[in-house]
Amino acid sequence: QVQLVESGGGLVQAGGSLRLSCAASERTFSNYAIGWFRQAPGTEREFVASISWNGDMPHYAEVVQGRFTISRDNAKNTVYLQMNSLKPEDTAVYYCAAVMKGGIEYNYWGQGTQVTVSS
């Protein structure tokens, strides 16, 4: 079972940057695709970005395309989400999740990290 721990959240002014990290406990981490999701108060959780097991298929939600970059370092069992040009509407709890190669649903979730962007 994969355990995921997010870090890197915080308070930043609009236009600023943050880098989130998602560290996994699983030594076969490279067998998992990883996704980032976010949930703001009163809203449903939404997809932000994902990356395949080998890192060559990043996908982004349209609202973050061109501002966020997802990457992974399998040697460190870590996936990153670099967030630039942050906007107040990016304020949310950010979660990372894992799905095994060939799987459909994200089975494993972290506890989330809060990102707050002030105007």
- The predicted-structure confidence for 77-112, as pLDDT tens digits, reads as follows 999 999 999 999 999 999 999 999 888 899 999 999
5-28 pLDDT tens trace:
999 999 999 999 999 999 998 777
Phi and psi, residue 19, nearest 5°: -125, 120
Distance of CA 15 to the CA centre of its chain: 19
How far is it, in rounded angstroms, from Cα 106 to Cα 87? Answer: 27
- Both tokens of 86, joined, read 């942050």
Distance CA 116, CA 88 (A): 7
pLDDT, tens digit (0-9, with 9 covering 90-100), for 43-71:
999 999 999 988 888 999 999 999 999 99
